[in-house]
A = this chain, B = another copy of it.
Amino acid sequence: MAAPVISPEIDGLIQLLAKLPGLGPRSARRATLHLLKKGSSAMEPLARALTEAAARIKPCGICGNLDTEDPCHICTDPRRDASILCVVEEVADLWALERAAYKGRYHILGGVLSALDGIGPDDLNIAGLVDRARAPEVTEIILATNATVDGQTTAHYITDRLQECGVTITRLAHGVPVGGELDYLDDGTLTTAMRARRPF
């Protein structure tokens, strides 16, 4: 890749694309060649989209969602239930839950507590969550951090911090994924699903 045969303009593009998650040096080269073969008709719209996103997209000061408006259009939408806040790690989780017909509002932490990565409570937007939980209209906080060790540790920590706020704290149900086969599930999920069994 550092071979002088690749012109600096091409190499620069490869290096920048290789920084994207999911693209290594080889796939960045493939993506670059794909763009160069397509020519301006592929590269210019992408350049414009990047410039526009860089200029217009900003995090929402209330929930942390990414939008052209601040506050974002979920926080300002009067049709959304202001009494429920769903706490997620990242914007991608908000996008996922939007596909699940959730109609409350969100709070994005910006990550999870992680002793290994040196991420403490002050690195996440937890203080903002406590402030929002104190608002009289908020009655329920759904903790929808990932079902990983760090995600669950973060959920427990937040539960402690919200103790004084007088809100109901809930979390997503654990269990067998819809369409999942028992034989392929880990024991922890199966045990949880068995314990949490419901009347048929």
Contact = CB atoms under 8 A, between A and B. Distances in A.
Contact of A31 (B20, B33, B45): B20
A16 B49 contact: yes
Given A20-B35, A31-B20, A90-B33, A95 B5 contact: yes
Contacts of A199: none
Interface stretch (A6-14, A112-120, A131-139, A177-185): A6-14
B39 A54 contact: yes
Interface stretch (A22-30, A158-166, A190-198): A22-30
How many copies the complex holds: the figure is 2
A50 B20 contact: no
A66 B31 contact: no
Contacts of A94: 5
A99 interface: yes
A174 interface: no
23 contacts: A3-B95, A3-B98, A5-B94, A5-B98, A7-B67, A9-B52, A9-B68, A12-B52, A13-B46, A13-B49, A13-B50, A21-B31, A22-B30, A30-B92, A33-B90, A33-B91, A33-B92, A35-B53, A40-B55, A44-B50, A47-B47, A47-B48, A47-B50
